[in-house]
Structure 1
Amino acid sequence: MTTIPRLGAIAVLVEGDRVLLAQRKKTPDAGLWGFPGGHVEPGETALAAAQRELLEETGLSAEPVEYLTNVDVIRHDADGHVLVHYLLAAVLCTAPRGTLCAADDVSDAAWFPVPQIRAGDLPMSAQVAEVMDLAIRRLQDAG
């Protein structure tokens, strides 16, 4: 049982009309599609962690540009006790390089059309569509 929140980082990568997602192998979101990511190591920034996790889980490297938002992942047992509490820093990444291949903590990784994510056609982690849309707005504002 985790009683202290843990810090994680997720790499949000949107290219044109598609978004990169990874299917988680481990709890708390085993089997669900979400952004590549994982724990922030001691002394590591969330920007650097997102970049590292992206490479470890998908084989792609990309530039971490900015923090988009934070996502709380809190799961309780039947008695209301906290089982898992993560604070995920969502990091906008751009300019992907490399060959996409699932590795490490993911069973699959793929590019999905933005409309499919908005339609909710995949079993996804919480707030994937909202974070994706925030990334799209930031990219449009910057472009």
Structure 2
Amino acid sequence: MSRTPFIGALAVVIHDGHVLLAQRGKQPDFGLWGFPGGHVEWGETVMQAARRELLEETGIVAEPRAYLDNLDLLRSDDTGVVTHHYLLVGVDCAYVSGTPTPSDDAKDARWFPVDHVRNGSLQMSARVVDLLETALSRI
């Protein structure tokens, strides 16, 4: 049986000097903060998935504008065997409306000042700051 990576969409929403993050409610990365997102469903574009996952996880409505970057996420067990393989696609999204309300896979969802995220004081998933910097460089 062949194995293929999962494709995930990450919604990057920056608004009024703040960035929207969701706290993971399940593995991988349970309890860590990161961009809202999830699996791209069959027949759905990454842009559509970013919009849908953002709404499902946080209650925020936003319009996808552009692809930002692709992030490979590989997780291995203690013996070095890859157990999870994701290709995560960051999508820049323009805030439209809503107040962060966690649901679906999110334990919490909040707006954080950009500098608060940049200084690394939050427990975050890998590459959150890198993707944030990419988004900021394009705004």
* Cα distance in 2 for residues equivalent to 1:98 and 1:76: 37
* Cα distance in 1 for residues equivalent to 2:56 and 2:116: 25
Deviations 1:106-134 (A, max 9, x none): 00000011111111000001111111111
Deviations 1:82-141 (A, max 9, x none): 1111101100000331232000000000001111111100000111111111111111xx
Are 1:55 and 2:30 matched, yes or no?
Answer: no
Contact 2:100-2:111 within 8 A present in 1 as well:
no
The count of residues paired between Structure 1 and Structure 2 equals 138
* Cα distance in 2 for residues equivalent to 1:3 and 1:124: 28
Q: Which amino acid aligns with 2:128?
A: V
Aligned to 2:6: 6
Query: What is the identity percentage for the equivalent residue pairs of Structure 1 and Structure 2?
Result: 54
* C-alpha deviation, 1:3, in angstroms: 4.0
* Cα distance in 2 for residues equivalent to 1:95 and 1:108: 18
Q: What is the SS of the residue equivalent to 1:101?
A: coil
Unaligned runs of 5+ in 1: none
Q: Which amino acid aligns with 2:12?
A: V
Name the Cα RMSD after superposition: 1.2
Aligned to 1:131: 131
* C-alpha deviation, 1:65, in angstroms: 0.3
TM-score when scaled to structure 2? 0.95
Unaligned runs of 5+ in 2: none
Aligned to 1:69: 69
* Cα distance in 2 for residues equivalent to 1:98 and 1:16: 14
Aligned to 2:84: 84
Deviations 1:49-77 (A, max 9, x none): 00000000000110000100011111000
Q: What is the SS of the residue equivalent to 1:56?
A: helix
* Cα distance in 1 for residues equivalent to 2:30 and 2:67: 25
Aligned to 1:19: 19
Q: What is the SS of the residue equivalent to 2:41?
A: coil
Aligned to 2:107: 107
Are 1:41 and 2:25 matched, yes or no?
Answer: no
